[in-house]
């Protein structure tokens, strides 16, 4: 159940105007697919479409979804599609009702997309962007020597997400429960499509449209630290909250290959290029950026690394099955920094 005829296949991408979603759209268009971009508004779609040349835009159409949980609207968006990349997921630390604003939207949105796939006989595969949050058990701390891969699962439950007073815990619970919802859905019937889930770590890298980086809050959480370092707005190197990472372009490539690869059928993949820490990023930026920028980047303790003091990851399965070759941290960091420093 894979997609082989790219030129005659349409792929729905939810969250298409977001950091990861826009890269998925870019990769799909470059591969020759027709893309239906699910966005919230015409303005979001026009901003996305403006990133591509005329030929690519001719294969890009919008699907306006104000609520990913609206089954009728999602059914219309999926109609006529051969595949789905479900990238959209609610995320904000500025929420007060975790059940209403994080858990329910993530779980119900996933269920709605899966049901829409079941309703459309042309769909052959659904690829879902899960998260390292669905893999890592944060209650166990840094766990030096532990290797996490796609067989690892966070034990967070619904009650954990609802009863916590920490938005980060509620978000992690929402990712665990949303992914489990997708796998449970697949057990209910012998569907005409299959499922792939990808579990990315911290996601760095350049933006498809650098003009969207208008302020710190406009960026994904991972790139916010890079922005702050590049802009010289930090007095010291900040602590590293998630010491494993992946480049957004490699992640987008993995989404496309997950659509196409027969061996990926009903598989889960860890998506991580390896370890990093913010001191390493600071060292790269101070060494490689022009003096006008590098002089404002905090020095910290040059050369100090966290490697060996925390868990690590193994993405060998993604490398073998999907053929992913992960970029180096320096390339990812500098490609983003070059966009920020030229604005």
Two tokens, residue 12: 């729905």
Per the domain annotation, does 3 fall within a domain? Answer: no
Angle between helices 248-260 and 19-31 (to 10 degrees): 50
Per the domain annotation, does 316 fall within a domain? Answer: yes
In the block, tokens 């990093």 appear at 276
State which residues form the domain around 177.
8-342
Per the domain annotation, does 16 fall within a domain? Answer: yes
Per the domain annotation, does 290 fall within a domain? Answer: yes
Quick: pLDDT tens for 38-67: 999 999 999 999 999 999 999 999 999 999
Per the domain annotation, does 319 fall within a domain? Answer: yes
Angle between helices 221-230 and 329-341 (to 10 degrees): 60
d(CA 309, CA 330): 21
Please report which confidence band the pLDDT of residue 3 belongs to, taking 50, 70 and 90 as the band edges: confident
Residue pair 271/198 in contact by the 8 Å Cβ criterion: yes
Helices then strands, each counted (H, E), the chain:
14, 12
Quick: pLDDT tens for 107-136: 999 999 999 999 999 999 999 999 999 999
d(CA 242, CA 275): 9
Per the domain annotation, does 2 fall within a domain? Answer: no
DSSP structure class, residue 102: I
d(CA 105, CA 111): 10
d(CA 176, CA 183): 11
Please report which confidence band the pLDDT of residue 233 belongs to, taking 50, 70 and 90 as the band edges: confident
d(CA 208, CA 211): 9
Residue 167 burial by Cβ neighbours in a 10 Å radius (0-12, 13-18, 19+): middle
Please report which confidence band the pLDDT of residue 241 belongs to, taking 50, 70 and 90 as the band edges: confident
- 3-state helix, strand and coil shares in percent for the chain, rounded to the nearest 5: 45, 15, 40
CATH assignment at residue 99: 3.40.50.720
Cβ neighbours of residue 98 closer than 8 Å, sequence gap 6 or more: 161, 162, 164, 167, 170
Q: Give the dihedral of Cα atoms 252, 254, 257, 259; nearest 10 deg.
A: -80
Cβ neighbours of residue 166 closer than 8 Å, sequence gap 6 or more: none
In the block, tokens 């939207």 appear at 105
Q: How many domains does the chain have?
A: 1
Per the domain annotation, does 307 fall within a domain? Answer: yes
Quick: pLDDT tens for 285-335: 999 998 888 888 999 999 988 878 899 999 999 999 999 999 999 999 999
> Rounded to an integer, what is the distance from CA 342 to the centroid of its chain?
25
Please report which confidence band the pLDDT of residue 1 belongs to, taking 50, 70 and 90 as the band edges: low
Per the domain annotation, does 194 fall within a domain? Answer: yes
Average pLDDT over all residues of the chain: 93
pLDDT of residue 262: 96
Q: Give the dihedral of Cα atoms 66, 113, 88, 130; nearest 10 deg.
A: 160
Rg (CA), the chain: 20
């Amino acid at each position: 159940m894979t997609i082989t005829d790219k030129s005659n296949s349409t792929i729905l991408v939810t969250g298409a105007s977001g950091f990861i979603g826009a890269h998925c759209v870019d990769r799909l268009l470059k591969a020759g697919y027709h893309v239906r971009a699910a966005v919230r508004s015409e303005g979001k779609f026009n901003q996305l479409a403006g990133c591509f040349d005329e030929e690519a835009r001719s294969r890009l159409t919008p699907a306006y979804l104000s609520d990913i949980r609206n089954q009728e609207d999602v059914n219309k968006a999926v109609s006529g599609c051969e595949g789905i990349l479900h990238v959209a997921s609610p995320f904000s630390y500025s929420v007060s009702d975790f059940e209403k604003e994080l858990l329910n939207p993530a779980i119900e949105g996933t269920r709605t997309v899966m049901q829409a796939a079941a309703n459309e006989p042309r769909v052959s595969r659904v690829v879902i962007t899960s998260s390292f949050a669905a893999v890592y058990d944060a209650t166990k701390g840094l766990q030096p020597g532990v290797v996490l891969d796609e067989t690892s699962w966070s034990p967070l439950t619904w009650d954990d997400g609802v009863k916590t007073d920490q938005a980060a815990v509620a978000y992690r619970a929402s990712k665990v429960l949303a992914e489990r919802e997708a796998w449970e859905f697949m057990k209910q019937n012998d569907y005409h499509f299959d499922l792939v889930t990808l579990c990315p770590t911290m996601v760095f890298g350049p933006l498809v449209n650098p003009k969207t980086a208008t302020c710190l809050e406009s960026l994904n959480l991972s790139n916010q630290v890079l922005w702050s370092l590049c802009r010289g707005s930090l007095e010291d190197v900040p602590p590293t909250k998630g010491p494993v990472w992946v480049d957004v372009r490699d992640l987008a490539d993995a989404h496309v290959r997950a659509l196409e690869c027969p061996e990926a059928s009903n598989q889960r993949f860890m998506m991580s290029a390896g370890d990093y820490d913010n001191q390493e990023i600071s060292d790269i930026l101070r060494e490689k950026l022009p003096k006008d920028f590098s002089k404002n980047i905090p020095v910290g303790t040059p050369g100090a690394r966290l490697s060996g003091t925390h868990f690590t990851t193994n993405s060998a399965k993604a490398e073998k099955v999907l053929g992913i070759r992960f970029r180096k941290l320096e390339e990812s960091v500098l490609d983003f920094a070059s966009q920020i420093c030229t604005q």
